[in-house]
Structure 1
Amino acid sequence: MKPHYLALAATLALAGIQATAAPAAAQSTLNIGLQDDPDTLDPATNWSFVGRHVLQSLCDKIVDIDEKGEIIPMLAASWKWGDDSKTLTLKLRDDAVFHDGTKVDAAAIKYNLERALNAKFSRRKPEISSISTVDVVDPTTVQINLKQPSVPLLAALSDRAGMIVSPTAAEKLGEKFTDAPVCSGPYTFAERVIQDRIVLAKFPKYYNADKYHFDRLVYRGMPDSNVRLLNLRSGQLDLIERLAATEVEAVKADSSLAVEPVVGLGYYGVTFSIGGEGANLDAGKKAAIREAFSLAIDRQAISDVVFDGQASIGNQPFPPSNQYYDKNFPIPQRDLDAAKKKMQEAGVESVDLELLVPTDAERQQVAQLIQAMVAEVGINVSIKPTELMTLLDVARQGKFQSHLVGWSGRVDPDLNITPMLSCGAPTNDAHYCNEELDAILAKARASGDVETRKAEYSKAIAILQKDLPIVYMYHSQWIFAHNSNITGLAPAPDGIIRLSGVSRKN
């Protein structure tokens, strides 16, 4: 590792950190520290990872995943594909009710899927765009009819596209539903103070209420991982997400705390504005500059400095451990000569590039390392620390040059590409469009054969390696830490906190 990267890391670590004050917690309250304050609490519009933590306890889904990443029943007790793979029949459990007392039935499922698919404000459209119509067969049976076979559909229904809200409340509140969400999960919405806390209360009529052992959940956004840890050590928090990798060994050595890591499904990288504001900039117009950017980055140094070597470096939408990762596209080694040749190929000696970065310490450190690395080939990065919700809003509009965010990942590979990079997708920050890529992804979605899908995703990766709308850099673990008296946490690879079976020892 280059000495000046180590010096930069040491400088970044010198910032003074203080724990925030919070009221003492009752035994019936679980205090959870999140990396950011969530955006909306409407599954149709939510786009933040931290929002999914809250929604998991607030809104039940059609299906869920377990700690092995396998799809399991939730509101759908069972499901069956038709012989032509163009129909999916769901058999619902009959004992689920919404927080407003109305019944979770087939009509409610139909309403929610159509809302996610058709509402102007929905961000779920690309995730379930294969759906043609939804039929109510009887009160506990739903038939989903597809335009074409779509293997990723069940995986999509294990996330926000499958979260079910009360049709009564959604119709009454419209786009203001997020201010007082009504779902059918184990906890009900109680209070929200923006940039401070979200409070949920236990729902006594939940069908599995006996598996949820806290009367109240309090979620607090704390962008600095050191602040989250200090609040955990002081007892102001019981559980935190995304413990800094550099703190893992120290936390393991503390008998009052416990660490729960799990390998993630997603990626972190730099997204470039290709068709938005960046379309008028060299970095947005010229793939050779983006390739120079990629070649100038020392991915392993980033892993070593910021993540204590625990992040897996990469250059694709999937981590190297994923069966769809293509070894024919090796991770680029840092090559300044090759990067400079790419700049010459682009016809530029230097370019200026604004990089929007969330305010958490880890990504700020990553950004500063990137800034130092790419400067050596004439790419002058100006870092703009931006509160996450503001960043996401700006990114959705395409009003940025580049950003360092990432994607938490899904159990189906399609959902690591299509929502971000298909033409016209509402979550396509890059405003990138390649019709050849879209056709390849459609073919991969339609096949249930792993080898066929691998071949199609290899074609997709080849296009992304050439166009580089996203420069993929690393794949991190989800690392949870909690007080040692908290038991029963079983992290899943999507990194979402699930509280079934979690309790506090006396």
Structure 2
Amino acid sequence: MRTFRVAATAVALFVSLSAGAFAQTTLRIGLAEDPDMLDPTLGRTYVGRIVFATFCDKLFDIDEKLNIVPQLALSHETSADGKEMTIKLRPNVKFHDGEPFDAEAAKFSLERHLNFPTSFRKPELATVDHVDVVDPLTIKLVLKTPYSPLIAQLTDRAGMMVSPKAAKEAGDKFGLKPVCAGPYKFVERVQQDRIVFEKFADYWNKENVFIDKVVLLPIVDATVRLANLKSGGLDLIERVLATDIKTVQADPKLKLATAPDLGYLGLTININNDKNKGPLSQSEKVRQALDLSIDRDALNQVVFNGEFTPGNQWISPVHPYYQKAFPVRGRDIAKAKALLKESGAPLPVSIDYMVPKGAENEAVAQVIQSMAAEAGFDLKIRIIEFATSFKQAQAGEFQVFQINWSGRIDPDGNSYIFLHTKAPQNDGGYSNAEADKLMEDARLVTDPAQRKALYEKMTKIVLNDEPLIYLYHRKLLIAHTTKLEGYKQMPDGLVRVIGLKLK
């Protein structure tokens, strides 16, 4: 009998150890919103970029210091006249469907970004005339004109590579079952519930992939996201509330990862697509009055405990391209009222104010509503589901749209797509020929001093026209369990899964 007990114990121990050895690890990430289409050509949301980082590698990436580093490409070289960029590709890379990644595939992906109807990547690659295949692992981008932000664009969705076979078969439905060449491959998506990925066995850098499965869960309520993290239901959450920083720091089971944000939060004004032709769309004086009614410092203190950076441009005051000749102005109710009087707009000025659902978004809107009321504005806050807000913005169904932009490493990425005439994310239809020319000229030069001088002239125009009222620049706040090892926060706000381990 005793012998049987010992043998049974040994078997139980072996079974336990075997189960431990083969147990799958799952990284559960809480997202602040449900992303839009999971197609790098058609996607436009920040939360979508977080999801792409899990499964869709790019030609290039960035490091903590914003240096551009290789990913699916190994190197690049630009011709002396700035009109050709030759890119060497990484060998032995496969897409999730087993198809090879090579020069033909890279050419296909870039041309898809350029030519696909409703592509949001068109302005990012607009100067590319055509792509040549030099050899099986080399492509050449031939440009219409020099384009200084090009390499920076290839560190984001414009540089994401998709399987030609899968993309051709799926057409505009590719985002329902995307096929890329990243560390994890798509398994399923349930709208407003979960997005599931599993480790790709043939990934080119599989030696640095240690977690078997990644599940991303959209949880709009930041308090619920944090509660799930504290209880162990999640391993990492993005966009921690600034008011919850101390709570996270006080919990020995949690870690807070931070970095300065590259983007901004602003109020997009519907200038040319406003069907009601309200005073805000018709007069820059009304827009300037709205701007002057806002106390950015007070907004930062009330909503964010002073953790964020007040701003008035598409880049932060600490950015090298920030125009110090145009500092953030203080609140001036008297001047705001005078401008409204000069405009002749009937008081109070009633405005439809579209705000994506979320605690911080709604708190910001309420503070601005209260401030603006003192100047003579009646902001009618309309809370709307995040993905729906983008559809309505594109359809021009708003007068003010409060929206975050996650930012890019080159200033062009924070300005051109929102401010250039007919750019795809210029939801308010702003158009100024002089500003357009300055943005175009800034793309032609590489010298920082020359570019900054061009942007200074453009800044003066945009701050007068006020198609977009810039409010502040976030601090990226990511919280995760101490069981998650190897996490580093990059300035672009994305969650990179390479190298992560779960204890």
User: TM-score per shorter chain, which class?
Assistant: over 0.9
Q: Does 1:246 align with 2:243?
A: yes
Residues 96-495 of structure 1: pairs in structure 2 closer than 5 A: 96-277=93-274, 280-348=277-345, 349-495=347-493
Deviation at 1:121, TM superposition (A): 2.4
The CA distance in 1 between the partners of 2:448 and 2:95, in whole Å, is 38
2:286 alignment partner, SS class: helix
Stretches of 4+ aligned residues off by more than 6 angstroms: none
Q: Is the 8 A contact 2:89 2:102 kept in 1?
A: yes
Question: In structure 1, the residue corresponding to 2:131 is in which secondary structure?
Answer: strand
Deviation at 1:396, TM superposition (A): 1.4
The amino acid across from 1:40 in the alignment is M
- What is the aligned-residue identity percentage? 45
After TM superposition, give the deviation of residue 350 of structure 1 in Å.
2.3
User: d(CA) in 1 for partners of 2:137 and 2:448?
Assistant: 32
In 1, are the aligned partners of 2:24 and 2:213 still within 8 Å (CA)? Answer: no
User: Can you list the C-alpha shifts for 1:440-464, whole angstroms capped at 9, x where unaligned?
Assistant: 0111111110100110111111111
- Whether the 8 Å contact between 1:294 and 1:332 is mirrored in structure 2 is no
Query: For residues 279 and 338 of structure 1, what CA distance do their matches in structure 2 show?
Result: 26
SS in 1 for 2:476: strand
Q: What is the SS of the residue equivalent to 1:280?
A: coil
- Helix, strand or coil at the partner of 2:110: helix
Q: How far, CA to CA, are the matches of 2:456 and 2:275 in structure 1?
A: 27
Q: Counterpart of 2:100 in 1: which secondary structure?
A: coil
In 2, Cα distance between equivalents of 1:228 and 1:95: 39
> Are the counterparts in 2 of residues 58 and 189 from structure 1 also a CA contact under 8 Å?
yes
Query: Aligned equivalents of 1:273 and 1:205: distance in 2?
Result: 47
CA contact 1:265–1:408 (8 Å) conserved in 2:
yes
TM-superposition CA deviations, 1:401-427 (whole Å, max 9, x none): 111002111000011000111111111
Equivalent position to 1:68, from 65, 70, 75: 65
**Separation in structure 2 between the aligned mates of residue 398 and residue 432 of structure 1, nearest angstrom:** 12
Aligned match of 2:5: none
Using the alignment, how far apart are the partners of 1:38 and 1:146 within structure 2? 32
Q: Structure 1 residue 278: deviation in Å?
A: 5.4
**Counterpart of 2:315 in structure 1: which amino acid?**
F
Between the aligned partners of 1:396 and 1:108, the Cα distance in structure 2 is 31
Q: What's the secondary structure of 1:269's corresponding residue?
A: strand
In 1, are the aligned partners of 2:120 and 2:424 still within 8 Å (CA)?
Answer: yes
Distance 1:279 1:422, change over 3 A: farther
Q: Which of 39, 42, 46 is 1:42 aligned to?
A: 39
Q: Post-superposition shift, 1:266?
A: 0.6
Whether the 8 Å CA contact 1:85–1:149 is kept in 2: the answer is yes
Distance 1:278 1:292 in 2: 22
SS at match of 2:93: coil
Alignment gaps of 5+ in structure 2: 1-22
Q: Cα deviations across residues 63-108 of structure 1 (Å, max 9, x unaligned)?
A: 1111111111011100000111110000001111101111111111
Summarize deviations over 1:241-291 as a string: whole Å, max 9, x none: 011111111211110000001101011010010111257111011111110
Please give the alpha-carbon distance, in whole angstroms, between the structure 1 residues aligned to 2:491 and 2:455. 21
Distance 1:178 1:234 in 2: 33
Query: Does the CA contact (< 8 Å) of 2:84 and 2:141 recur in 1?
Result: yes
> How many Å separate the matches in 2 of 1:481 and 1:27?
23
Aligned Cα RMSD in Å? 1.0
Q: Look up the match of 2:9.
A: none
- State the distance in 2 between where 1:208 and 1:62 align: 14
- Maintained 8 Å contact 2:221/2:359: yes
Q: How many Å separate the matches in 2 of 1:474 and 1:148?
A: 34
* 342-351 or 294-303, larger mean C-alpha shift: 342-351
- With structure 1 as the length reference, what TM-score do the two structures score? 0.94
The whole-number CA distance in structure 2 between the counterparts of 1:263 and 1:398 is 32
The runs of 5 or more residues in structure 1 that have no matched partner are 1-25
By how many angstroms is 1:434 displaced?
1.1
Are 2:185 and 2:199, in contact at CA under 8 Å, matched by a contact in 1? yes
- In structure 1, C-alpha distance between the alignment counterparts of 2:446 and 2:275, rounded to whole Å: 37
- The 8 Å contact of residues 356 and 385 in structure 1, kept in 2 or not, is answered as yes
User: How far off is 1:124 after superposition?
Assistant: 0.8
Q: Distance in 2 between matches of 1:277 and 1:338?
A: 26
Residue 27 of structure 1, CA deviation: 5.5
C-alpha deviations, 1:321-348, integer Å up to 9, x for none?
0011111111110110011011012112
How far did 1:499 drift? 1.2
- Please tell me the residue identity of whatever aligns with 1:370: I
